Amino acid sequence: MTAIPKSGALSGLRVVELGSFIAGPFCGQLLADLGADVVKIEPPQTGDVMRQWGAVQLDGKSLWWPVIARNKRSLTLDLRTERGQEIAHALLAEADILVENFRPGTLEKWGLGPDDLWTANPGLIITRVSGFGQTGPYSRDVGFGAIAEAMGGLRALAGFPDRPPPRAGLSIGDSLAGVFAALGTLAALEARHQTGKGQVVDVGITDAVLAVQESVLSEYSATGALRQRTGTRLPGIAPSNLYPTRDGQWVIIGGNGDAIFRRLADVMGNPELATNPRYATHRARGAHQEELDDLVAAWTRELPLDELLPLLKQAAVPAGPINDAAGIVEDPHFRARGAVVEVESEEYGRLTMQGVTPRLSETPGAVQWAGPSLGCHTHEVLSERLGLNTDEIAQLRADGVI
């Protein structure tokens, strides 16, 4: 048995997580990281599809699962059966939060919609994550993160203008939706402290992508301008780019502020660049971005990365390497902050994964265990929450409900 988290800012909150894939479960992960008791309901036999996902696996087991399901308790329950729906209803009658990411209408079909649940538990916060949200003409359409990234404008801005828009290599749309869902959940929790009532938190993955579009829409509205893909550059912001090093690596430098650019020019051994009218001001540097990038690249190309970074750091010029997983794991800063941690797991052994964000000074979150084996908390949760005895649980198992 796995102990329920006893610390963290959300300790004492009871969360029931339904659904699968990424966006909803990532919201659940964030809540669990901060101490909430998250009971994840999974289909018997198969479990969440995330148990199989991931291009790289260990002995046929997903290495994504131990991260996205960490700190959660696994309860198997067939929600397509009447008895399974009754058990879910009973669990939600004494829960604080429901997180779900089924297609809109699915919970209502099972008798688990908001009106059904609020009859027994008017304070329940119901966080609903879906491709397009609970309302609007696309709401009943199937929607994955990749589709939302495209429709919400993210893909149109990624990559180089002469190539098809690429993906980021991560499920950014889903993760953004999970973050906004967690934020909305905590806002609804604060509102409940004042009203005593729960509410629906409605997050479409498309909404989450749109929310981080900065001034893209207002630029179009005011001027008709359509922001385009610009590769590694941000137009008008210079020097701020990737630059090659002598040893075939890349360094990213953000030297676009006036004072920072003066320091960069000094460390390059070319201080007169900072007083040259072509580069002396922010707008001048933006207007001559390409030639300025060429000058910086000519300098970085003469030095290996491990010599460049200390020089730039000493000069207080923002710079860094392009880290892959190996670089992140070996970086002492991430280790010192607990941004990279080691977690022991019966199924996986010792795993390295990202730590808890955000960091709270008085009630910090923690990774207390990796994603659990399928249904390992079923008996524990049903006996603890619903008072079912061993024989009753055994009958549910024999009937295929759990």
The structure tokens listed for 284 are: 């001048």
How does strand 340-345 pair with strand 37-42? unpaired
Alpha helices in 111-215 (DSSP H): 114-120, 145-151, 172-195, 205-211
How far is Cα 39 from Cα 75, in angstroms, rounded to an integer? 7
φ, ψ of residue 227 to 5 degrees: the values are -65, 140
How far is Cα 302 from Cα 298, in angstroms, rounded to an integer? 7
The structure tokens listed for 39 are: 């009971």
Name the DSSP class of 272: G
Q: Is 48 a catalytic residue?
A: no
**Amino acid, res. 124:** L
How far is Cα 236 from Cα 253, in angstroms, rounded to an integer? 15
The structure tokens listed for 381 are: 């949760």
Per the listing, tokens 């980021």 go with 168
Strand extents, DSSP E, 108-195: 125-130
How far is Cα 268 from Cα 271, in angstroms, rounded to an integer? 8
The structure tokens listed for 261 are: 């650019």
Active-site position among 78, 96, 174, 207: 174
What strand order describes the sheet that includes 125-130?
A: 72-76, 37-42, 14-17, 97-100, 125-130, 200-204
Catalytic residues: 174
